[in-house]
Amino acid sequence: MKKSYLNIFSNIAIVISMALFFFSCTDTYKRVGDEAVKKIYPTGVAQDFVLTSTETDDKEGIDNKEARLQSRVVVVLKSPLCNDFDNLEFPHLTFPKGLVVEFFDEKGEKSTISADYGIIYSKTNLIDLQGNVIIETSDGKRLESPQLYWDRANEWIFTQEKFTFINPEDGTVMDGEGMDFNRDLSFFNAHRTYGLMSIKEE
């Protein structure tokens, strides 16, 4: 009988000791390699960033070669801060403090796009504009949306977000959700429209 009590007490003592041992263990393992969260740093940071894109026009009928080649400004991108992540597998530029893009047509007339945040993906020529995105064309048209994607290669802009489009030429205001259009807003395809919209009849 005494032996069975001793066995019980020793078993209880072992269980309590093991429990205390496991509860006192803490995870002091330092994460390394693939387990650690990798910090991503830009290869370059530019303040008061300005990027100007030009296009060279070949003027026919002029004999002087230097006079024939005339360049004109096509796009000017301005931002308080630009982070260059060219070192990544999918290289891109970010504009965490917003950006303004001015683009000029052949007549030199300016249209602008502004946003609170922007990403330019180098490989795909796609620009992701986020937060208070506003497009104002040279003829007074205005588009507002929380997010837009601009395909630079095809000069095409699209979104699935809500938008407001104001056209002073015909005095219309259109609210909708989802649309795609060309850069100068001469072609506009709205996926869904709603709200009050005035239409000018001929």
Which tens digits make up the pLDDT trace of 95-137?
999 999 998 888 888 989 999 999 999 888 889 999 999 999 8
Residue 138 has pLDDT above 60, yes or no: yes
Residue 111's domain is classified under what CATH number? 2.60.450.10
Please tell me the total count of domains within the chain. Answer: 1
Mean pLDDT of 153-173: 86
Q: Could you read off the pLDDT of 49-61 as tens digits, one per residue?
A: 998 888 887 665 5
Residue 10 lies in a domain: no
Q: Quick check: is 128 in a domain?
A: yes
Angle 52-135-153 from CA coordinates, rounded to 5° = 55
Answer yes or no: is pLDDT of 141 > 60: yes
Instruction: Give me the helices (H) in 86-133, please.
Output: none
Domain span at 136: 38-160
The proportion of the chain whose per-residue pLDDT surpasses 70, expressed as a percent, equals: 70
**Buried b vs exposed e over 119-142: b needs ≥16 C-beta within 10 Å?**
bbeeeeeebbbbeebbbbbeeebe
Lowest mean pLDDT among 113-117, 164-168, 197-201: 197-201
